[in-house]
Amino acid sequence: MKKLNELIDVKYDVEIGGIKTNSKDVVPNDLFICTDRGTLDRHEFIDDAISRGASAIIVKKDVGEKSVPIIKVDNPNDILPVVCSKFYDEPDKKLTMIGVTGTDGKTSVSTMIQTLLGDEICGYIGTNGYSCSKFNKDTNNTTPDSDKLYGYFDEFLKSGCKYCSMEVCSEALLLGRVKNIEYDISIHTNITSEHLNSHGTLENYVRDKCKLFRQTKKNGYCILNKDDEHFDEVKNASNGKVLTYGKDPDNDLYFKDIKILPGRTLFKINYKNEEYEIDSPMAGMFNVYNLSAALLTLFALGFSFNEIKPKISKLHVSGRLEMIDMGQNFYVMVDYAHTPNGITKLLEYVKELPVRRRIVVIGQAGERDAYKRKEVGEIVVKNCDLAIFTYEDPRSENPRDIIEMMIEKIKDTYNNYEIVIDRSKAIKRAIDISGEKDIVLVLGKGNETYEKLKDKVIYFNDIEEVKKALKERLNKVNNK
């Protein structure tokens, strides 16, 4: 509990037990803050928050007198992180803060860092929830808003963590969710065209990504991918000491002698003129980059390779290259890849595997980056034997309209695709038609546990759907 006048300069000393921006989450003694996130006016929910027990309200508009203190400010969005930080006694300043941003690879790099540091001392926040050795919980967003984020930091501290490795998505940077956090280390994976529905242009998207590196402490580190085409822009925005990774010897850490095998990658890294051999369970060239970023982060934190090496074999990222084996004579992989770059890199890796046919189940999200749908459809059919187009978070859009956009460029020249709108049926179709040494790739959602359909969110998990379809197929075979 805190007094309201301990959190903000007001005369009121009412007790505050929590901070909320969604009236549905309010419980007695909460402070309700009417933030503006562009989708709805939180001021409309003040009476609901009060009815649920809110003890004070922070607003931007005149709302008249209420039964609880009303504090009017210029911008509730700016007040939110300040109040949250004070409420939890500035937990972000007590943790070593590590932020990872980029179009692809955020989840992999931030999870790798947690694994290499150890989840008993490092918390993770991102697409796969928030976790440490004491718990593993879901989140509503890759990078949640301050009312939740600072609570997560506090949980990490109370669980014995010293580090926080978190994904920092472009939307969070755009909306100022992490505006008041100073990062000890910030990491750049790559930047390709994405989320232009929110940012408007690629230039805006890059600019918002760069905010993370401006928020890095001067005595901190900016870990940058020198092979990325936007490297110079990120470097120019970097406030901390710049360390680079990539394929050329002019990097602080560079990699060479790469051997990509099914489910395994062998390569060497060179750091400070010392060469180390890496045997990684994370397959693919993209994971050479991801692991290099994670390793350079650990080196920057002062860890030696001998301390890191035993943990490399434990690397695993849920929903990334997730192989599902239930005894079938073909392969099934679930992966989060949903951007043109991510899908291209993944299919390039799969091309090198000793498989017969490549069957891809994929869709594209509604109300998001419609411009890339045709590009994704073309990439997939050109690099697989059969594509099964289905829905993926269609939201208010008609799933068939999304799929029609995906096949617009290919329908007159390619016939190696099918349309199965229901995602569960699409996954089952792919499993049922697979033969020995085929590989089924279920892309776009990874280990996420929802689908956004029109005005509702339903529980849905690709890995569970794959297992259900495999079980049904294997039962049919065994009962013959």
pLDDT in tens, 121-146: 999 999 999 999 999 999 888 899 99
**Taking 70 as the threshold, does the pLDDT of residue 197 lie above it?**
no
148-157, 337-346, 410-419: which has the minimum mean pLDDT? 337-346
Looking at residue 152, its pLDDT comes to 97
Structure tokens, 277: 């051999």
Average pLDDT estimate for 219-228? 98
Label residue 314 exposed, middle or buried (CB < 10 Å: 0-12, 13-18, 19+): exposed
Looking at residue 195, its pLDDT comes to 53
Average pLDDT, the chain: 94
Looking at residue 261, its pLDDT comes to 85
Looking at residue 198, its pLDDT comes to 60
The stretches of 302-359 forming alpha helices (DSSP H) are: 305-312, 340-351
Predicted confidence (pLDDT) per residue in 368-378, tens digit: 889 899 999 99
Looking at residue 214, its pLDDT comes to 96
**Topology agreement, domain 2-87 and domain 91-312:** no
Label residue 240 exposed, middle or buried (CB < 10 Å: 0-12, 13-18, 19+): buried
Looking at residue 70, its pLDDT comes to 97
Q: Find out whether 339 and 194 touch, Cβ atoms under 8 Å.
A: yes
**Taking 90 as the threshold, does the pLDDT of residue 325 lie above it?**
yes
Q: Tell me the torsion sign for CA atoms 103, 108, 110, 116.
A: negative
**Taking 70 as the threshold, does the pLDDT of residue 303 lie above it?**
yes
Q: Find out whether 295 and 309 touch, Cβ atoms under 8 Å.
A: no
Q: Fill in the amino acid letter for 191.
A: I
**Taking 70 as the threshold, does the pLDDT of residue 440 lie above it?**
yes
* CATH number of this structure's domain 91-312: 3.40.1190.10
Q: Find out whether 186 and 212 touch, Cβ atoms under 8 Å.
A: yes
Average pLDDT estimate for 218-231? 97
Report the candidate in 361, 364, 366, 369 with the shortest Cα–Cα distance to residue 454: 366
Looking at residue 225, its pLDDT comes to 98
The number of helices, as runs of H, and strands, as runs of E, in the chain is 16, 25
Predicted confidence (pLDDT) per residue in 393-405, tens digit: 999 999 999 999 9
49-58, 61-70, 243-252, 257-266: which has the minimum mean pLDDT? 257-266
Q: Find out whether 23 and 47 touch, Cβ atoms under 8 Å.
A: no
**Residues 147, 139, 77: CA angle, nearest 5 degrees:** 30
- Angle at which helix 340-351 crosses helix 373-382, to 10 degrees, equals 0
Q: Find out whether 374 and 400 touch, Cβ atoms under 8 Å.
A: no
Q: Fill in the amino acid letter for 452.
A: K
**Taking 80 as the threshold, does the pLDDT of residue 193 lie above it?**
no
**Could you tell me the residue ranges of all domains in the chain?**
2-87, 91-312, 322-478
Report the candidate in 103, 107, 98, 343 with the shortest Cα–Cα distance to residue 240: 98
Element (H, E) at 221: strand 216-225
Looking at residue 175, its pLDDT comes to 85
Q: Tell me the torsion sign for CA atoms 59, 62, 68, 71.
A: positive
Q: Report the distance separating Cα 105 and Cα 101, nearest Å.
A: 8
Most confident stretch, 167-181, 344-358, 420-434: 420-434
Task: List, in sequence order, every beta strand (DSSP E) within 339-396.
Answer: 358-362, 386-389
The model's confidence at residue 476, banded by pLDDT at 50, 70 and 90, is: confident
Looking at residue 240, its pLDDT comes to 94
Return the half-sphere exposure (C-beta side, CA atoms, 13 A cut-off) of residue 397: 20
Looking at residue 196, its pLDDT comes to 52
Q: Report the distance separating Cα 206 and Cα 199, nearest Å.
A: 9
Q: Report the distance separating Cα 84 and Cα 381, nearest Å.
A: 48
Looking at residue 268, its pLDDT comes to 98
Per the rule left: phi > 0, alpha: psi between -120 and 50, beta: everything else, 260 is beta
Token pair 């690099």 is found at: 383
**Taking 60 as the threshold, does the pLDDT of residue 411 lie above it?**
yes
The architecture (CATH level 2) of 2-87 comes to: 3-Layer(aba) Sandwich (3.40)
Average pLDDT estimate for 112-117? 98
More confident residue, 477 or 109: 109
Q: Find out whether 391 and 367 touch, Cβ atoms under 8 Å.
A: no
The model's confidence at residue 199, banded by pLDDT at 50, 70 and 90, is: low
Predicted confidence (pLDDT) per residue in 247-287, tens digit: 999 999 999 999 988 788 999 999 999 999 999 999 999 99
**Taking 90 as the threshold, does the pLDDT of residue 40 lie above it?**
no
Q: Find out whether 184 and 220 touch, Cβ atoms under 8 Å.
A: yes
More confident residue, 409 or 455: 409
Q: Report the distance separating Cα 216 and Cα 99, nearest Å.
A: 9
The pairing of strands 183-188 and 30-33 is unpaired
Classify residue 288 by its DSSP letter: H
Structure tokens, 173: 């940077």
The model's confidence at residue 220, banded by pLDDT at 50, 70 and 90, is: very high
Looking at residue 298, its pLDDT comes to 98
Chain CA centroid to CA 185, Å? 18
Q: CATH number of 322-478: 3.10.105.10, 3.30.160.100, 3.40.50.300, 3.90.190.20?
A: 3.90.190.20
